[in-house]
Structure 1
Amino acid sequence: MTDDVKLLMLAGDYVEDYEIMVPYQALSMLGYTVDVVCPGKKAGDKVLTAIHDFEGAQTYSEKPGHAFTLTADFDAIDTDDYLGLIVPGGRAPEYLRLNPRVLEIVRAFADRPLAVICHGAQLLAAAGVIKGRKVSAYPACRPEVELAGGIYADIAVTDAVTDGELVSAPAWPAHPAWLAQFLKVLGANISI
């Protein structure tokens, strides 16, 4: 791996803590440069995160997470500089999907390596890039995936699914499967 291989990650306030922290750290550890951006913010600014947990209720619980420091300026992004895109979940996608530039960015990666988890599928649905594609997401996002023409992958919370260059998963417990499949899509050759 070399530091000149760049990945882009879209973030916003109340992004899911594990879904931003774990892929950022894991992909950085492997030598990727991961630029994390948020509309209206610059490198060094922070987004607040939320920790979603599965504690036996009918849906996840939410607790305050960490402040994540952004690594690049949103307004300076040129999608041609990046090999792939990562879209974490949490509450951020519900408002990020209202930003036309965010949707342009997602569309730019429709046929390139794209990793999406949990509520991140809301951005793909809003951008119109999942018609006919198999997509996993947090189960509450199933109607949005299907209304956008996607084929909802009803898989275990620890699993992920790959459709072409799109890798998706229902929630952070799928990180091992999700990141492993995304690395294959990226063409990474990792041997231990």
Structure 2
Amino acid sequence: MTGQQILMIVGDFGEDYEIMVPFQALQAVGHEVHAVCPEKSGGDTVKTAIHDFRGDQTYLETRGHDFELTHGFDEVDPADYDALVVPGGRAPEYLRGYDEVLDAVRHFFETDKPVASICHGPQILAAAGVLDGYEMTAYPAVRPEVEAAGCSWVDGVTTDGNLVTGQAWPDHPEWIAQFLDVLGTEIDHEATAATAD
């Protein structure tokens, strides 16, 4: 299967690993990823935050990197994309207030396109009203919101139809692998391995 076009919706203080890792991993296997944020243009940056889990009642947050957007939100049409990624962090709590974000998310569910969301990202999905009947997970503190939106809670990475969800960045290996399966991505390690002369 040839590479697909994937839309990623991000914002200031989205979780650093949950933006950077899937953005790079999906490109590494041949997909094209466009990262957008409302009210920002391609070439602008969003500030990220790193959430660390050290045994406290919630995560510790520190400043992450600056992440460069590939396109302006107004430049993209969700209909042009094969799949959607919605990372977590603090960005989802305010991104869900943008009608254009909710409309974009609804498009992917209405057309049954693959969607991957992790950590606090499902806050956006809940606000878009697309979770009714799904089996899914999210950051545990978001559980009341997603259950109120009509989903059934699962404690680990899960795929239900077009939706792949994880709890936080430690889930990346399984979360990304399940998303690649839903995308139909085939990785030929023989063909991509470097050869020595």
> Is TM-score (shorter-chain normalized) higher than 0.5?
yes
* TM-score, scaled to structure 1: 0.95
3-state SS, counterpart of residue 109 of structure 1? helix
Q: CA deviation at 1:2?
A: 4.0
Q: CA deviation at 1:77?
A: 1.2
Give yes or no for the alignment of 1:178 onto 2:175.
yes
What is the rounded CA distance, in whole Å, between the counterparts of 2:182 and 2:162 in structure 1?
6
| Number of aligned residues | 187
Identity %: 59
What is the rounded CA distance, in whole Å, between the counterparts of 1:135 and 1:121 in structure 2?
9
Could you list the per-position Cα deviations for residues 18-50 of structure 1 after superposition, in whole angstroms to 9, with x for gaps in the alignment?
000000010011111100000000110000000
Q: Which residue of 1 aligns with 2:105?
A: 106
What is the rounded CA distance, in whole Å, between the counterparts of 1:44 and 1:29 in structure 2?
21
Q: Which residue of 2 aligns with 1:123?
A: 124
3-state SS, counterpart of residue 94 of structure 1? helix
Give yes or no for the alignment of 1:168 onto 2:168.
no
Structure with bigger gyration radius: 2
Q: CA deviation at 1:191?
A: 3.5
**Correspondences of 1:15-164 after superposition (within 5 Å):** 15-110=14-109, 111-155=112-156, 160-164=157-161
Give ranges in structure 1 of 5+ residues lacking alignment. none
Runs of 4+ in 1 over 4 A off after TM superposition: none
What is the rounded CA distance, in whole Å, between the counterparts of 1:135 and 1:49 in structure 2?
25
Give ranges in structure 2 of 5+ residues lacking alignment. 190-197
What do you get for the CA RMSD once the two structures are aligned?
A: 0.9
3-state SS, counterpart of residue 131 of structure 1? coil
